[in-house]
Amino acid sequence: MASPASGSVITRTDASAHARLRAVPIADVTLHEGLLQQRVAAARRYGIPRLLDRLEDRGAIANFLIGRPGHADLVRRGYWFSDSDVYKWAEAAAWALAGHEDASLGEQLDRVVGIMVASQKGDGYLNTNFSGEQRLRDLGWSHELYCAGHLFQAAIACARSIGDERLLGAATRFADLIATRLAGRTDTDTHPGIEMALVELARETGEERYRELASDLSARVDLGETPHLWGHAVRSLYFASGLTDLVTDTGDTARASAVDALWESMIAEKSYVTGAVGGRWIGESFGRPFELPNESSYAETCAAIGVAMWAWRQLLRTGDASYADHLEHVLHNAVLAGVSLEGDEWFYANPLGFAALEEHDPWGADRFAEDMAGPFPLRRRRWRDVACCPTNAVRMLASLPGYVYAVDRDANDLWINLFTASTVEHAGWRVTQRTEYPWDGRVEIVVDAAPRGRRALVVRIPGWCDAHVSGEHGDAEQLVPGTYSVVRRTWKRGDKVVLGLRMEPRAIACNPRVAENRGAIALHRGPIVYCFEGVDNPGVDVLAVAVDPATFRAVRRPDLLDGVVALDGEGSQPADGGGPLYRPVGAALPEQVPAAVTAIPYFAWANRGLHPMTVWARQRVR
């Protein structure tokens, strides 16, 4: 297998005419000790290898061997779309190998890629579930294009990260077949995903026909006169990501307007406070505006990853700090919540409230509950036969170093999108972030090398805080939240820029049209959303407690949940559980008794067994 390549960019926009920014290769970024490094390391150390074991055990790898000599007795196992899970695993492994030596993982990926490539048919078709006249016949339910999209993304990751182009050759042959077979058809691909993969394949190979196919497939979707995000959340977000890629490459103004309207729809009406999306279990979907239930939320992990992917593409396209803000927000809360601290258990659905009660339905479909989500009681699991979320989570975490930095189109200025202890060496820059973010708001940016002449460090100022920046001479400047600050000079070795971000606990209220959150508040500190979990609050009914947001203070807890900052404060709870289900208007309220309460980062809940949890708590009236 080839040695790691320096071109390991997750999204390539260097030739995109309408891109403001270019990605920095994963191999050019080193994460140092901190929250994001811990989560990426856990995915590399446990998540990726253990997922391969489970894919092997459930037959997902063996499916690619069916029909080959010596495997006459093999019968296909798993869902008809399970090929996509193998492709996502391969993509994760490739990104994990970018700049990181791991002989064992390299050998495993080499073997899996060899198996996949050898299963390709002579005409280029590559899918283990369909044959003969079934192939590419039903775009409505087959998921063939969805699986092909993940194949293309895995192939690109292998080529860019480790220089292995075997899968890329298979991908282009299959893409050529798809283009031929779909020519002149108008039926819609009902599980998007291939569109953004085709655009990236065009960027990688220089073949315009792949971008044209992505454009054609996208044009078959009727968004209506005023686009809104509706329906299956993951499909909607993958579609929107592909549409953004097309806009970035072509500058299509109509599609740009549609993309921006879709984004506004999500932000203004359909996002949870964690950045998660998809409030409906039915159809794993977006619901009506402001339909955001807490305990019955779906908020699929894959959908959170889809939000992050879309925000990233919008950032590369526009350079607008609001997209980087949202990328940070969804990564630190909705995405990280989907993965256990150990790195090898995953949520499918992510509630914002949880009673921790066992449920039983003597007439229920236990098979559905186990395979789809294991919803009641909700817990992270090591495997589900619908394995989209585990494989998606490890590929996101493996690629995460590639989101931290970017450069402008001419690669002169270095943009800092995410704050995390790290070093970047790219385009003549060598810059180190020294920080304990997100637990501490001090970010020291040290320049060890920079391109000649006046160049800029372009530093994001989060929209949630007041901030100031200081240079090496102690001069300080107040900054505008929700923007990028440009620090331009002729840099010399040892120059520093010190960013100070206020990290006080703050309370967030909700639009009153979200029925469940009326009169309630959620706690934030920095980019982190907090929750109240029963294990931290003995004797307190966290689902009934009322809290006083003015009393909360941050407490560093290196002993808790791999080291976090908790929030300690005061509240009260009803003495008798809140009284009857209903009471007459004007009747005396139940007696309230004081309660000391502790909040932990939402992403870390459910790592210590099943306990009640809520993000939103009633606000205590003094």
**pLDDT single digits (tens) 141-175:** 999 999 999 999 999 999 999 999 999 999 999 99
Domains of the chain: 25-221 (no CATH), 228-338+347-380 (no CATH), 405-501 (2.60.40.1180), 506-619 (no CATH)
Type of residue found at 273 = V
Write the DSSP string, 440-505: --EEEEEEEE--SSEEEEEEEE-TTS-EEEE-TT--EEE--TTEEEEEEEE--TT-EEEEEE----
Q: What is the pLDDT of residue 46?
A: 96
Are 158 and 164 a contacting pair, CB within 8 Å? yes
| Non-local CB neighbours of 409 within 8 Å, separated by 6+ positions | 14, 19, 20, 21, 22
Q: What is the pLDDT of residue 477?
A: 65
What would the mean pLDDT of 367-373 be, rounded to a whole number? 50
Residue pLDDT, tens place only, 425-450? 999 999 999 999 999 999 999 999 99
Q: What are phi and psi of 506, to 5 degrees?
A: -140, 150
3-state helix, strand and coil shares in percent for the chain, rounded to the nearest 5: 35, 20, 45
Share of the chain above pLDDT 70, in %: 95
Residue pLDDT, tens place only, 74-108? 999 999 999 999 999 999 999 999 989 999 999 99
What would the mean pLDDT of 108-121 be, rounded to a whole number? 98
Secondary structure, 3-state, 340-364: CCCCCCECCCCCCEECCCCCCCCCC
Q: What is the pLDDT of residue 446?
A: 98
Q: What is the pLDDT of residue 379?
A: 82
What would the mean pLDDT of 171-188 be, rounded to a whole number? 96
Q: pLDDT higher for 267 or 467?
A: 267
Q: What are phi and psi of 91, to 5 degrees?
A: -65, -45
Question: CA distances (Å), 115 to each of 166, 178, 314, in order?
Answer: 11, 21, 36
Token representation of residue 422? 């790290």
Is the pLDDT at 370 greater than 70, yes or no?
A: no
| Non-local CB neighbours of 224 within 8 Å, separated by 6+ positions | none
Q: What is the pLDDT of residue 485?
A: 93
Share of the chain above pLDDT 90, in %: 85
Q: What is the pLDDT of residue 362?
A: 66
Is the pLDDT at 460 greater than 60, yes or no?
A: yes
Residue pLDDT, tens place only, 599-614? 999 999 999 999 999 9
Are 86 and 71 a contacting pair, CB within 8 Å? no
pTM of the model: 0.96
Residue pLDDT, tens place only, 200-254? 999 999 999 999 999 999 999 988 887 889 999 999 999 999 999 999 999 999 9
Question: CA distances (Å), 436 to each of 503, 570, 605, in order?
Answer: 12, 27, 21
What would the mean pLDDT of 271-286 be, rounded to a whole number? 95
- Sorting pLDDT into bands at 50, 70 and 90, what band is 303? very high
- Sorting pLDDT into bands at 50, 70 and 90, what band is 122? very high
Q: Is 79 exposed, middle or buried (0-12, 13-18, 19+ CB in 10 A)?
A: middle
Is the pLDDT at 372 greater than 80, yes or no?
A: no
Residue pLDDT, tens place only, 500-557? 999 999 999 999 999 999 999 999 999 999 999 999 999 999 999 999 999 999 999 9
Is the pLDDT at 466 greater than 90, yes or no?
A: no
Sheet of 467-470, strand order = 29-31, 422-426, 429-435, 442-449, 496-501, 467-470, 476-478
Are 537 and 583 a contacting pair, CB within 8 Å? no
Is the pLDDT at 476 greater than 90, yes or no?
A: no
Residue pLDDT, tens place only, 128-150? 999 999 999 999 899 999 999 99
Are 393 and 47 a contacting pair, CB within 8 Å? yes
Token representation of residue 590? 């139940």
- Sorting pLDDT into bands at 50, 70 and 90, what band is 478? low
Q: What is the mean pLDDT of the chain?
A: 93
Q: Can you tell me the distance from the alpha carbon of 496 to that of 510, in angstroms, rounded to the nearest whole number?
A: 39
Is the pLDDT at 369 greater than 80, yes or no?
A: no
Q: Which of 311-344 are b and which e, b meaning 16 or more Cβ less than 10 Å from the residue's Cβ?
A: bbbbbbbbbebbbbbbbbbbbbbbbbbbbbbebb
Question: CA distances (Å), 139 to each of 113, 187, 373, in order?
Answer: 26, 7, 25
Are 469 and 416 a contacting pair, CB within 8 Å? no
Residue pLDDT, tens place only, 45-62? 999 999 999 999 999 999
Q: What is the pLDDT of residue 226?
A: 77
Is the pLDDT at 482 greater than 90, yes or no?
A: yes
Q: What are phi and psi of 456, to 5 degrees?
A: -120, 140
